[in-house]
Amino acid sequence: MKEQDIQAAKAFRKGMDETLQLMKAHRVAITANGSMPDAEDRGEAIAAHVLSIRHLQAAIHWQGEVLKHIGTPNPYPVSKLTPRDIAKSLYEAYCGSTGGVSAVSGAKLPTWEEMEADTSKGAVVKAWLASAAVHPATHRVEPTAI
Burial class (CB in 10 A: 0-12, 13-18, 19+), 114: exposed
pLDDT digits (tens, 9 = 90+) for 63-85: 888 888 898 766 655 556 678 88
Please choose, from the candidates 88, 81, 80, the residue with its C-alpha nearest in 3D space to the C-alpha of residue 113.
Answer: 88
Residue 136 has a pLDDT of 63
Higher pLDDT, 135 or 103: 103
> Is the confidence at residue 140, as pLDDT, over 60?
no
Mean pLDDT value across the chain: 83
pLDDT digits (tens, 9 = 90+) for 17-63: 999 999 988 888 887 766 777 878 888 888 898 999 999 999 988 98
> Is the confidence at residue 115, as pLDDT, over 90?
yes
Residue 6 has a pLDDT of 86
Band of pLDDT at residue 138, cut at 50, 70 and 90: low
Residue 145 has a pLDDT of 38
Residue 121 has a pLDDT of 94
Band of pLDDT at residue 89, cut at 50, 70 and 90: confident
Per-residue DSSP letters for 12-25? HHHHHHHHHHHHHH
15/40 Cα distance (integer angstroms)? 31
> Is the confidence at residue 142, as pLDDT, over 50?
no
100/109 Cα distance (integer angstroms)? 5
